[in-house]
């Protein structure tokens, strides 16, 4: 074999990879850097109540697939209930019903939302909406009429009238008639409701929007309210907090009405809560998936055309070569000793779920506990395969015990230990104990630390967001990694540790 | 650091990557590995070629044979237990005497039959073999080592490692067990490496844990200037291992027996690099001299002459 062949092969691989990516960047205009402006949220509504041994009907408003957010996916966990979804002019509603139910009931609605790529009209019903009937009578009606008349005098059209009304409602200097109608409750919700009623007197369609602040990533998301007013053939948003027309873009419009989110018939002790979870990992794939679909053959037959879950899997798989190249560098260029060839990479993959510090802690914990039990097994003089099986069982027991303990202690991270590759842990314990016995404890600890070091660094590398995006969008970069590993396979120079090992030979005398 | 790198290059220190890439890959065909990885096969080859080896007493290949271990071993007052496919001296037990099914190791430790059986069972299970696959246990003659090294040996059997490249013995060292190495002659287990001059067969420098020393750390005797007996025989046998196995880059391990002279203990297809520290010389320059020969020297004796007279570093 011509030794040059290796270099030609590597060069060819690099050229192929670079030309494919150049085509993607300059012709198809794929983004080189991840675009993080589009996020994906998982929003969950939990409903609990007690049924009273008679027919039960639960109605829940649902977010709609329009406005500033798109509904990508939704799930209902309904148990024994029948489910019906209806679309109204301004709302979407789910109704769960059951002929007979008793005891504590539990319903769940889960929706995945994405920021809309092209935001459409917030409430897109084509025909002119109806004005609600005037809700006032007597003294209230007089006050309301007075307010509207006064506003009419000071405004040119409906737009300026609404503006004036909002200033009145949000400002500190309130007309005494407004103060009368508003009462003591100055919350944005109450002010919005008052605005809707007053606009009904003026003959302008309006409604309150109930929404959720998607930045409150807590167990109970903050509910927000604003006003929508119809004029000039369009709905207009009004922020009740500052009277402006600006609604923060993280406010999700959920339903429009003066009714609560959940209504219940045939039960009591109703409790509902909305929780929001931001999923930035999915964001990228979502954007890539829908934003670029159907542009070119190269894209159509690329990873971006795969279902989202498979894409998510490839996000991880494609990073493995990055970790492996690092491992090769560490072993053949530096000379770090590790237990097993690919063990550090598998550990690094497990770190993805546990996060680095917890991962290191859990790994050290399981390996050191497992090691001490392995030393005890050594005294029992067990045959090799049964001994390995025993260590594996012990490892699984340790994993279960650590999960339960950490959960009880309120450390949910500890649960992620279940994702450690148990066979790899077992083999690590076994090999470490043998090295311990044969080459001494310092060698065993040295190799253990070496493995952990390589695993941690590989984890950090494999989780660089920029690199992940880059490799995912340009998987041909793996050809460059292949070229690199082929070249490293022909590296015959010294390892870094050999400079220390052969120190005496490197000194002149 | 850079100066050290340059000096290492100048003196021809062979690194792990180059050893694997240029020498092991090119000169040791994969299919020949079983000949040296399996000590049983090496022994049979050597025996056929008339090369001196420690006599084999028993071979245990099946777990059920372990039950009869005491009976099988009864005729031998002392013996050595080895895994046939062990690496780096792992799993080797030296028993110096036995009495009432109690076995005394060279370090004075007493093993019960049960413990010995467990050790043999671990060997069969593959605990010490290279790929972790099933192995066989060898029981062989315990070397009564030549008193020439008794002053500089703590326990166990000193052995002589010769690196043979294309049949030419290029570098050699004496490995002396220490207290730390528990009677074993492997450097990574704490044994002492003493360089041997190929031309004269005399020891020159010594190294322990990558440090140069001149006296044995436990006996206090001078390590330098000891002449290895039967040196010509050792070099000749080492050179013959090339024809024996077909491997171009080999490590041959010998022991000097008081009665039987030099015996071939085992062969190694991936000999370690610490021999360079023991000799305070790089292997690469000598390997290059052998590579520079216009054609390979056919006779082992010719190659030994070349090694003793022409290898100059």
Q: Which residue has the higher pLDDT, B114 or B1?
A: B114
Residue that is written with structure tokens 């409790």 in the block: A271
Determine the pLDDT at residue A283. Answer: 43
Given a cut of 60, whether residue A405 has pLDDT beyond it is yes
Q: What is the dihedral of CA A207, A210, A211, A213, to 10 degrees?
A: 110
Tens digit of pLDDT for each residue in A1-48? 677 889 999 999 999 999 988 887 787 766 666 654 556 788 888 888
Residue B17: which of A495, A501, A505 has the nearest Cβ?
Answer: A495
- The verdict on B8 touching A (C-beta cutoff 8 Å) is yes
Tens digits of residue pLDDT in A226-271: 888 888 777 888 887 777 778 888 888 888 877 888 888 888 888 8
pLDDT at B302: 92
Average pLDDT rounded to a whole number, residues B42-60: 93
Interface probe for B, chosen from A330, A506, A507, A509 (most Cβ of B below 10 Å), is: A506
Mean of pLDDT values over B90-105? 89
Contact A439 B188 (CB under 8 A): yes
Query: Hey, of A437, A438, A500, A509, which one would you mutate to test binding to chain B, going by the most B CBs within 10 A of its CB?
Result: A438
- pLDDT score for A286: 46
Taking CA atoms, what residue in B is nearest to A502? B277
The predicted structure's pLDDT at residue A304:
66
What pLDDT is stored for residue B297 in this prediction? Answer: 86
Give B-chain residues touching A434 at CB under 8 angstroms. 127
Q: Which pLDDT score, from 0 to 100, does residue A172 have?
A: 64
Mean pLDDT of chain B: 88
Q: What is the mean pLDDT of residues A295-315?
A: 66
Inspect the interface and report whether the beta carbons of B125 and A332 lie closer than 8 Å.
no
pLDDT at A289: 46
Write out chain B residues lying below 8 Å of A383, CB-based: 63, 121-122, 125
d(CA A463, CA A469): 10
Distance CA A106, CA B193 (A): 75
With a cut of 70, say whether residue A355 has pLDDT above it: yes
pLDDT at B133 over 80: no
Q: Which of A46-60, A305-319, A448-462, B282-296 has the lowest average pLDDT?
A: A305-319
Does the distance separating the beta carbons of B280 and A495 come in below 8 Å? no
CA distance A215 to A221: 8
Taking the C-alpha atoms of residue A324 and residue A451, their distance in angstroms, rounded to an integer, is: 13
Average pLDDT over residues A274-282: 68
pLDDT tier at B252, thresholds 50, 70, 90: very high
Q: Which of B41, B62, B34, B59 is nearest to B140 (CA)?
A: B59
> Which pLDDT score is estimated for B182?
66
Q: Are strands A92-115 and B249-257 parallel, antiparallel or unpaired?
A: unpaired
The C-alpha of A394 sits at a distance from chain B's nearest C-alpha, in angstroms, of 20
Instruction: Give A-chain residues touching B280 at CB under 8 angstroms.
Output: 504-505
Q: Is the pLDDT of residue A482 over 90?
A: yes
Q: Measuring CA to CA, how many Å separate A66 from each of A55, A71, A235, A250, A284?
A: 33, 8, 13, 15, 21
Least confident of A72-76, A337-341, A392-396: A72-76
**CA-to-CA distance for B285 and B277, rounded, in angstroms?**
14
pLDDT digits (tens, 9 = 90+) for B160-195: 999 999 999 999 999 888 777 766 667 766 778 899
Closest of A46, A49, A45, A65 to residue A57, by C-alpha:
A49
Residue A171, phi then psi, degrees to nearest 5: -70, 175
Cα A298–A299–A305 angle (5° rounding)?
A: 130
Ramachandran angles phi, psi of A200, nearest 5°: -65, -40
Does B17 contact chain A (CB < 8 Å)? yes
Interface test with B, best of A505, A507, A508, A509 (most B CBs within 10 A): A505
Nearest residue in chain B measured CA to CA from A335:
B16
Confidence of residue A284 (pLDDT cuts 50, 70, 90): very low
Contact B204, B224 (CB under 8 A): yes
- Residue B19's pLDDT band (cuts 50, 70, 90): very high
Which among A436, A326, A298, A447 has a CA at the least distance from the CA of A378? A436
Residues A504, B22: C-beta atoms closer than 8 Å:
no
> Which region among A146-155, B64-73, B191-200, B301-310 has the lowest average model confidence (pLDDT)?
A146-155
Q: Nearest Cα to A471, choosing from A275, A289, A355, A316?
A: A316
3-class secondary structure for A78-123?
CCCCEEEEEECCCCEEEEEEEEEEEEEEEEEEEEEEEECCCCCCCC
Average confidence (pLDDT) over B47-76: 92
User: Distance between CA atoms of A271 and B165, rounded to whole angstroms?
Assistant: 83
Establish if B126 touches chain A: CB-CB under 8 angstroms. yes
pLDDT band at A292; cut points 50, 70, 90: very low
First to last CA, chain B: 24
Cα–Cα distance measured from residue A74 to residue A61, given in angstroms and rounded to the nearest whole number: 13
The stretch B247-276 carries a mean pLDDT of 92
Nearest residue of A to residue B211, measured between CA atoms: A504
CA–CA distances in Å: residue B81 to residues A208, A250, A262, B56: 89, 74, 79, 10
β-strand B211-213 against B102-105: which pairing, if any? Answer: unpaired
B276 vs A384, A491, A502: nearest CB:
A502
Task: Please determine, for residue A281, whether its predicted confidence score (pLDDT) is greater than 60.
Answer: no
Say which of A383, A385, A495 has its CB closest to residue B15. Answer: A495
Which residue in B11, B17, B24, B124 has the most chain A C-beta atoms within 10 A of its own C-beta, making it the best mutation to test that interface?
B17
pLDDT digits (tens, 9 = 90+) for A445-471: 988 999 999 999 999 998 887 888 788
- Residue in this structure with the two tokens 């027919």, named with its chain if needed: A55
DSSP letter (8 states) at residue B311 = -
Q: Find the DSSP H helices in A87-137.
A: none
Q: How confident is the model at residue A123 (pLDDT cuts 50, 70, 90)?
A: very low
H or E stretch including A398?
A: helix A384-408
pLDDT of residue B168: 95
Euclidean distance between CA atoms B263 and B257, whole angstroms: 7
pLDDT at A206: 84
User: Is A307 a residue whose pLDDT tops 80?
Assistant: no
Indicate whether A121 pLDDT > 60: no
């Amino acid at each position: 074999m011509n030794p040059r062949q290796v270099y030609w092969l590597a060069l060819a691989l690099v050229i192929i990879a670079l030309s494919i990516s150049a085509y993607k960047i300059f012709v198809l205009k794929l983004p080189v850097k991840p675009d993080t402006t589009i996020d994906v949220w998982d929003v969950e509504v939990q409903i609990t109540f007690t049924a009273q041994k008679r027919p039960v009907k639960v109605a829940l408003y649902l977010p709609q697939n329009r406005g500033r957010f798109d509904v990508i996916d939704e799930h209902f966990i309904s148990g024994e209930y029948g489910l019906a979804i209806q679309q109204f002019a301004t709302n979407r509603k789910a109704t769960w019903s059951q002929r007979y139910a008793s005891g504590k009931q539990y319903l769940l609605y889960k929706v995945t939302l994405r920021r809309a790529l092209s935001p459409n009209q917030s409430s897109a019903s084509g025909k002119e909406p109806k004005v609600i009937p005037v809700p006032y009578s007597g003294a209230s009606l007089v006050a309301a009429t007075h307010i509207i008349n006064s506003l009419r005098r000071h405004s040119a059209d409906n737009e300026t009238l609404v503006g004036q009304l909002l200033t009145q409602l949000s400002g500190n200097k309130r007309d005494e008639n407004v103060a009368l109608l508003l009462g003591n409750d100055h919350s944005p919700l109450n002010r919005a409701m008052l605005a809707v009623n007053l606009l009904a007197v003026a003959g302008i369609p309006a409604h309150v929007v109930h929404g959720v602040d998607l930045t409150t990533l807590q167990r109970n998301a903050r509910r927000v309210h604003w006003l929508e007013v119809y004029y000039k053939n369009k709905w207009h948003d009004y922020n009740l907090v500052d009277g402006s027309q600006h609604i923060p873009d993280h406010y999700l419009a959920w339903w429009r009405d003066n009714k609560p989110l959940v209504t219940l018939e045939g039960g009591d002790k109703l409790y509902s809560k909305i929780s929001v979870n931001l999923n930035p990992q999915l964001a990228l794939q979502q954007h890539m998936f829908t934003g670029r679909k159907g542009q070119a053959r190269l894209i159509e037959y690329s990873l971006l055309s795969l279902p989202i879950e498979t894409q998510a899997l490839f996000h991880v798989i494609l990073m493995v070569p990055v970790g492996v190249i690092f491992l090769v560098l560490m072993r053949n260029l530096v000379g770090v000793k590790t237990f097993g060839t690919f063990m550090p990479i598998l550990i690094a993959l497990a770190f993805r779920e546990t996060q680095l510090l917890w991962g290191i802690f859990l790994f050290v914990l399981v390996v050191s506990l497992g090691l001490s039990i392995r030393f005890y097994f050594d005294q029992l003089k067990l045959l090799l395969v049964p001994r390995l099986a025993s260590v594996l069982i012990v490892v699984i027991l340790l994993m279960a015990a650590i999960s339960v303990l950490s959960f009880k202690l309120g450390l949910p991270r500890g649960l992620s230990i279940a994702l450690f590759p148990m066979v790899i842990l077992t083999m690590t314990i076994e090999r470490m104990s043998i090295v311990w016995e044969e080459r001494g404890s310092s060698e065993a600890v040295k190799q253990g630390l070496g493995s952990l070091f390589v695993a941690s660094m590989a984890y950090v590398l494999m989780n660089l967001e920029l690199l992940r995006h880059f490799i995912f969008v340009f998987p041909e970069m793996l050809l460059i990694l292949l070229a690199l590993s082929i070249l490293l396979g022909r590296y015959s120079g010294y390892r870094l540790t050999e400079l220390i090992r052969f120190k005496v030979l490197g000194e002149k005398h | 650091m850079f100066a050290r790198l340059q000096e290492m290059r100048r003196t021809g220190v062979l690194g792990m990557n180059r050893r694997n890439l240029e020498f092991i890959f090119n000169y040791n065909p994969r299919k020949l590995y079983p000949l040296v990885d399996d000590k049983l096969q090496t022994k049979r080859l050597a025996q056929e070629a008339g090369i001196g080896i420690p006599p084999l007493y028993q071979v245990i290949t099946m777990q059920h044979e372990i039950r009869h271990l005491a009976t099988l071993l009864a005729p031998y007052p002392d013996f050595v237990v080895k895994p046939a496919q062990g690496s780096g001296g792992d799993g080797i037990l030296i028993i110096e005497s036995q009495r009432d099914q109690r076995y005394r190791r060279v370090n004075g430790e007493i093993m019960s039959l049960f413990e010995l059986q467990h050790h043999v069972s671990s060997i069969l299970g593959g605990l010490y073999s290279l790929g972790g696959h099933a192995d066989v246990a060898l029981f062989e003659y315990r070397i009564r080592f030549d008193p020439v090294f008794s002053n500089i040996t703590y326990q166990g059997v000193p052995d002589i490692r010769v690196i043979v490249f294309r049949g030419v013995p290029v570098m050699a060292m004496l490995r002396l067990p220490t207290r730390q190495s528990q009677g074993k002659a492997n450097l990574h287990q704490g044994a002492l490496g003493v360089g041997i001059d190929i031309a004269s067969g005399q020891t020159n420098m010594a190294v322990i844990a990558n440090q140069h020393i001149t006296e044995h750390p436990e006996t206090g005797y001078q390590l330098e200037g000891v002449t290895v007996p039967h040196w010509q025989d050792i070099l000749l046998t080492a050179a013959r291992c090339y024809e024996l196995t077909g491997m171009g880059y080999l490590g041959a391990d010998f022991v000097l027996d008081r009665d039987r002279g030099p015996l071939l203990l085992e062969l190694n297809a991936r000999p370690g690099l610490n021999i360079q520290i023991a000799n305070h010389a790089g292997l690469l320059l000598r390997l290059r001299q052998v590579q520079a020969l216009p054609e390979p020297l056919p006779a082992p004796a010719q190659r030994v002459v070349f090694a003793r007279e022409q290898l100059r570093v």
